Amino acid sequence: SDAADSAASIGTAVTDAQDAATLAGQHKDAAETARTGAETAQAAAEQAAQDAQEAANVGPATDTTAGIVRLPGNAPGVLGGTSNNPTVTGWDDKADADHDHSADDIWDATTVGIDVLRASNQQAARDVIGAGTSNLQLGSSGSTAAPGDHTHGPGEITGVTPTGQSLMEAADGAAARSAIGAGTSSLELGSGANNAAPGNHTHVAAQIDDATTVGKNVLTAADMQTARDSIGLSNVDNTSDAEKPVSTAVAYEFNQVANALADKVDSGDVDEMQLVANEAAALSAGTGVFAFWTE
């Protein structure tokens, strides 16, 4: 029993010694921390004293001279704190440069735009913009999309005629003219047989290939008299009817009327005289030829 008590006492003594050693180590660490804190405080005090000394010798800063600047720190986004530790007021309310936004944070995004951003896959995105089931892969088939810079050959233009296709496929000007039946003409403007006449060209009488000599003479007549001479009407002019002489044939007809009327007057036949008078009126008006008969 005594031996057991002695062993227990020894164990307790060992434990107490270990605790004492641990406590001593803790006190040592605390002392070291205190010493370091004291050294830091001393350095800060010395720096503060130095800053105070420098501040006492420095005036306010200007646009050309370094100096003291007041840090108001009384509004968001302005500098505050001290010269050794300046801060920006409201900095904690600012987002980091690499921050993210949700689709709802894009203030000018439309409903369609937001739905595109939130589309879970390509098909959903196509549904949002009305692209249907097409995957819009580039290609040349009926189920793919043509590239933005694609071109078409003449044979791919619907409705084009064989002539139009030949014209588009012409290797040079001669081939193009051949395609439209322009022959070998270069279509250069000119007056030769191998040139094209200008759109405002004219012709002279001699160039009208089916015109007769008489027709050409009329076209080139210098005046009306020359034109009348060209068609055998040299004696035709603008003499008034009142001034025109009575032709031999007309004079003959009038003589016939006068003789017939004299005969009827001598016979005393009133009806016959009226008939002669009517015939004379028609002849005078130029609408008839006097007809007479004898009994």
pLDDT, one tens digit per residue, over 124-172 is: 888 888 877 666 677 777 777 788 888 888 888 888 888 888 888 888 8
The whole-angstrom separation of Cα 268 and Cα 266 is 5
For 83, 114, 191, 196, 219, the CA distances from 61, given in Å and listed in that order, are 13, 51, 91, 88, 105
Assess contact for 43 and 51: CB atoms under 8 A. Answer: no
- Helix (H) or strand (E) holding 79, with range, is strand 79-81
- Rounded to the nearest integer, the mean pLDDT of the chain is 76
Q: Which residues pair with 79 in a beta bridge?
A: 88
Residue partners of 152: CB distance under 8 A and separation at least 6: none
The whole-angstrom separation of Cα 288 and Cα 281 is 9
The pLDDT of residue 49 is: 73
106, amino acid identity: I
The whole-angstrom separation of Cα 135 and Cα 145 is 9
Residue 228 has pLDDT above 70, yes or no: yes
The pLDDT of residue 174 is: 80
Q: What is the pLDDT of residues 69-123, one digit of tens each?
A: 776 766 776 777 776 677 777 666 677 778 888 888 888 989 999 999 899 988 8
Structure token pair of residue 70: 């007041």
Count CB-CB contacts under 10 A for residue 260. Answer: 21
63, amino acid identity: D
Distance of alpha carbon 230 from its chain centroid, rounded? 63
User: Which is higher by pLDDT, 94 or 30?
Assistant: 30
